[in-house]
Structures are given as C-alpha cells and as structure tokens.
Amino acid sequence: MSKGKLIGIIVGVVCIVVIIIVVATLQEAADYETARLFTEATTELHQAQTAIIACMADGETGLLTTPSGDATVDWSGEAGVITVVSGNTTYDAADYVYGPFRAEYTVTDDGTITDGNPDIDGGWGSSIVWNPADNCWNSAG
C-alpha cells in the first residue's frame, strides 16, 4: 500500500471519529436541554400548586372564589384569576408566585390543576407535554 493511500485512509478514519464525537456531543446537549426544560416546568407547576394552596389556606377555605362551582379557569400566573374572598379580604394566588408562568394551567374550584398548556407566548413549547393521568408534565419524546 502506498504512503498516500495510507494517509488517505487515516484521514478518513479521523474524520469519521470526529463526526461521531460531534454528533454524540450535540445529542448530549439536546438531551440536557430537554431535561433542563422538564425540570423547570415541573418546578413551575409546583409553584402554581403551592400558590393556590397558600391562597386557600390564607382564606381559610377549601374552595376558591374564582373559579367557582363546576367552572374551571386557565391561569398563567396573572392577578385576579385565582382568588379567595374571605370577609372583606381578597387573597390572590398571583401574590404567591414569582412572575408569569411559561405555561397556562386549568384550575378547578377546589384548586386542582387538571391541565397544562405549554404552547403560550413565551411558553415551554413542544419540549414538554401534559400527562392527564397524573396531572403533571412529561418530557416530549
């Protein structure tokens, strides 16, 4: 085998190894990003649940004023959506959160979150999906 042919084979093998390393690194980065988004979305869901529970606890009730009855409401952390009125005081779940959410949550009058929509403006997008069986987020794919 000639020296030139041997160098060509070595260069080809090195290129293939470099491509494999680059592809593996990119896949690892994508997996990390998906895991990071899932963790952040789950943390946000817990923040929403905690805010709703705190609102009801401060109002000393097990039911929200809004929504009421069989109604549900979609909430992304804004004020005036999830409330408890107790006497002359209104408790708002938005007072217990750190800003707007990156998802919209469907909330029942007993404070249960029954659905999540990650496809809002500035939302999580398609990296996560709502699991209706467990009322939580799952990583997409």
**pLDDT averaged per 10 residues in sequence order, the chain, 141 residues:** 65 59 56 82 94 96 90 95 96 94 96 95 90 90 66
**What is the predicted pLDDT for the residue at 119?**
94
Chain centre distance of CA 16 = 38
**What is the predicted pLDDT for the residue at 113?**
96
The pTM for the full model equals 0.78
**What is the predicted pLDDT for the residue at 24?**
52
> The domain containing residue 37 runs over which residues?
3-139
Tokens for 67? Answer: 């929504």
Q: What is d(CA 95, CA 51) in angstroms, rounded to the nearest whole number?
A: 8
**What is the predicted pLDDT for the residue at 72?**
93
Q: What is d(CA 117, CA 136) in angstroms, rounded to the nearest whole number?
A: 11
Phi–psi pair at 34, nearest 5 degrees: -65, -45
**CA-to-CA dists, residue 103 to 9, 21, 66, 87, angstroms:** 52, 35, 19, 32
**What is the predicted pLDDT for the residue at 140?**
82
Domain count, the chain: 1
Tokens for 129? Answer: 């999906």
**What is the predicted pLDDT for the residue at 2?**
72
**What is the predicted pLDDT for the residue at 75?**
97
**What is the predicted pLDDT for the residue at 65?**
94
**What is the predicted pLDDT for the residue at 14?**
57
**What is the predicted pLDDT for the residue at 25?**
57
